[in-house]
Amino acid sequence: MSRLLTLIWCCLLLAGMFGCGGGPVVWTSPIDCGGDEVGAALADNGTALVALGTKTLAETDKSTWLLQALTPDGRQTWRQEYREGEQNVAGDIVLGPAGEAFCCGRVRLKGEDLCVVAKYRVDGSLAWQRALAVGEGAGGSGIAPVEDGVVVCGFARAEDRQELLVARLDRDGATTWSKNYRFGALAGGERVATDGRGNAVVVGRSGTAENPDIVLAKFDSKGDTLWTRVYDSGGEDRPGDVAVDVFGNVVATGTALVEGAPVCVILEYHPDGELIRKTAYGEGVRAEGRAIAASADGDLYVGATLHGTEQVSALAFHYQPNAGTIWERTWRCAGDTRAADLVAGEDVFLLTTVERADGTHDMTAVRLRKPQSVNQGR
């Protein structure tokens, strides 16, 4: 019996070192709170990580935002749940300069959908929450920091259409401004990034339900539109994430369905909106483009979901302008594993959603080691 326990312990140790069927990892940290947990976003400030997801209880079908704080070595510290409405669907999270967490999402309260923004202190206690009641219903999907607060994007329903919503709040939660933008009958913001001038870039949906496209829009600090660009592959296109690199260029990810197969697309634009390139990850590779992060040293990293012939894995890679890579990792554990978000610093931290054999889901955070050569820049 002791030899069997020793063997099990060794297997667990190796799983922690090398992942559950993918490339080597520094550590993994499962986030299972007894419900169905689906990853939404991951944020870091160099000394702490906070994962955000949606937890659903099967017996009640009620959902909450789930926040889990982690140290860089994978230890779980505080955990919080936001449960103000009948349904609480997590959107995005960002950490402020002092380590405080700003979150956004969609909350259904008494049958009405609200875009909710909440601030959590460093110890995980709730500092404030604000609901943006816009039109006939609203929801938040993306959040990014600005000098005096945060910018939020999402959707707002108006009559027979859905519009892209962008709002700016100060650090105390007061709304500086809130605006809706029309980009077809079914528009909505997915993620938002900001540059050093206080401008915001949103990647989202445009077009119709029958032919959805990816829209990129850049706004100044007052919410006035600087430029918009639309990506249409000819089929169904889904937005992923957006980042602003050290040169001010806008880089976005998304997914194009080509003859029913997902293709991870990457779109690059100059700060003034001029197209740099449109490209895809791999040739004939079935992958969904989900997350993108710009590191302080100028590198860009993409998080994607790789569809193999028999399994689904989370993928992270160092993006090069020609869509080539000098570093990439796949990770899969105990079921189909999808990338939810990633952040990049000394290493790459990936948030995933793992689908178990019984159909339930758990979140797992993974730290992927970068080779020294990657730190030499783009």
Contact partners, residue 260, CB within 8 Å, separation at least 6 = none
What's the pLDDT at 180?
94
Contact partners, residue 244, CB within 8 Å, separation at least 6 = 193, 194, 195, 201, 250, 251, 294
Report the chain (378 residues): mean pLDDT per 10 consecutive residues.
Answer: 32 38 77 91 93 90 94 94 94 93 96 95 96 90 95 92 95 95 92 95 92 96 96 95 95 94 96 95 92 90 94 93 75 93 94 91 94 54
Task: Tell me the pairing of strands 348-355 and 361-368.
Answer: antiparallel
Tokens 């959107």, located at residue: 91
Phi-psi region of 357 (alpha: psi -120 to 50; beta: other; left: phi over 0): alpha
Tokens 């032919």, located at residue: 211
What's the pLDDT at 59?
75
Task: Tell me the pairing of strands 200-207 and 348-355.
Answer: unpaired
Which H, E and C letters describe the chain, residue by residue?
CHHHHHHHHHHHHHHHHHCCCCCCCCEEEEECCCCEEEEEEEEECCCCEEEEEEEEECCCCEEEEEEEEECCCCCEEEEEEECCCCEEEEEEEEECCCCCEEEEEEEEECCEEEEEEEEECCCCCEEEEEEECCCCCEEEEEEEEECCEEEEEEEEEECCEEEEEEEEEECCCCEEEEEEECCECECEEEEEEECCCCCEEEEEEEECCCCEEEEEEEECCCCCEEEEEEECCCCCEEEEEEEECCCCCEEEEEEEEECCEEEEEEEEECCCCCEEEEEECCCCCCEEEEEEEECCCCCEEEEEEEECCCCEEEEEEEECCCCCCCCEEEECCCCEEEEEEEEECCCEEEEEEEECCCCCEEEEEEEECCCHHHHHCC
What's the pLDDT at 21?
41
What's the pLDDT at 35?
85
The full set of domain ranges for the chain reads 27-376
In whole angstroms, how far apart are CA 340 and each of 29, 86, 109, 137, 377?
Answer: 15, 24, 26, 25, 25
Superfamily in which the 27-376 domain is placed by CATH: YVTN repeat-like/Quinoprotein amine dehydrogenase (2.130.10.10)
Residue 23 token pair: 């490339």
What's the pLDDT at 98?
86
Q: What value, to the nearest 5°, has the Cα angle with vertex 53 and ends 280 and 37?
A: 105
What's the pLDDT at 123?
94
- Sheet containing strand 112-120, edge to edge, reads 87-95, 101-109, 112-120, 126-132
Cβ atoms 344, 293 nearer than 8 A: yes
